[in-house]
Amino acid sequence: MRFLLAAIVPLWMGGCFMSDGVQGAAATKRTIELAAPKRVFSLGGSIPIGVRYTNRTAKPIIMRDPQKTWEVQLLVGGANVSFGKILRYAGEGRVRWSIEDAEEFTVAPGAQHAFQYDAGKRWPERFLPGVNELQIKDVTDDAETVLSNAIKVQVEFTPESFPAFLGILESEESSPEGKAFAETWVRRLHPGFSTTAEAQAWWTQIGATPAMAATIAKINQDAAKR
């Protein structure tokens, strides 16, 4: 596997797509680079990352879609999580599991394959208030494990976090781990939680009060001490 994974500068963000790592112009043939917007993210919300594969060799390479590849992983929150998903099939009295298919495509010499991925939506349970370090690990080549630069993203509990947790609980796309994470945070603020509708009504009443602002500030202050 001969490629480079480099930072994207997406136009849709209306500005620079910054990272703590080196940008593509300074990259070498056998490196992986990762980038994220330089701003504070809400716990439970979107955390977009940008990547770009560049073939630095003189020959075409065949790649599998990294967004669906089990051997491409994000290191976050002390764990490796795979981009490729495990799919569950139930029928005829039995259940089976399989890894999703990753389409293959050819990348010409000097050509690129770029994509953006919402790590916060896919793995909300891996992020905590405070500084979170991210890194990509690629083991699609059995002969070599390639690690990216590590970047840091700042995550805070914000007034948008509680509604985001309720959205995670209601979404059919949320994983069991994501739902457990969201419910833990909901109950931390609202021990009497029963349903998402009830919790939303509670938040409408209490979310903008000085008492809740003080609670949110305390959560972020405690995180800063970690």
Q: Which of 106, 129, 156 is the last residue of a domain?
A: 156
Q: Do 15 and 125 belong to one domain?
A: yes
pTM listed for this prediction: 0.82
- Domain limits at 33? 4-156
Q: Do 61 and 152 belong to one domain?
A: yes
Q: Do 148 and 175 belong to one domain?
A: no
Q: Do 34 and 123 belong to one domain?
A: yes
Residue 93: pLDDT over 80: no
Q: Do 152 and 198 belong to one domain?
A: no
Q: Which of 156, 171, 206 is the last residue of a domain?
A: 156
Q: Do 136 and 217 belong to one domain?
A: no
CB-based contacts of 190, cutoff 8 Å, min separation 6: 199, 202, 203
Q: Do 121 and 168 belong to one domain?
A: no
Q: Do 181 and 194 belong to one domain?
A: yes
pLDDT for the residue 100: 85
CA distance 34 to 40: 17
Helix (H, G, I), strand (E, B) or coil at 38: coil
Which helix (H) or strand (E) covers residue 140, if one does? strand 130-141
CATH number of the domain at 112, please: 2.60.40.10
Q: How many independent structural domains does the chain possess? A: 2
Q: Do 149 and 175 belong to one domain?
A: no
**Predicted confidence band of residue 140 (pLDDT cuts 50, 70, 90):** confident
Q: Do 151 and 167 belong to one domain?
A: no
Q: Is 204 left (phi over 0), alpha (psi -120 to 50) or beta?
A: alpha
Which range scores top for mean pLDDT: 82-86, 92-96, 110-114, 130-134? 130-134
Q: Which of 156, 180, 212 is the last residue of a domain?
A: 156
Q: Do 115 and 187 belong to one domain?
A: no
pLDDT digit string (tens) for 71-92?
A: 999 999 889 999 998 877 677 7
Q: Do 148 and 190 belong to one domain?
A: no
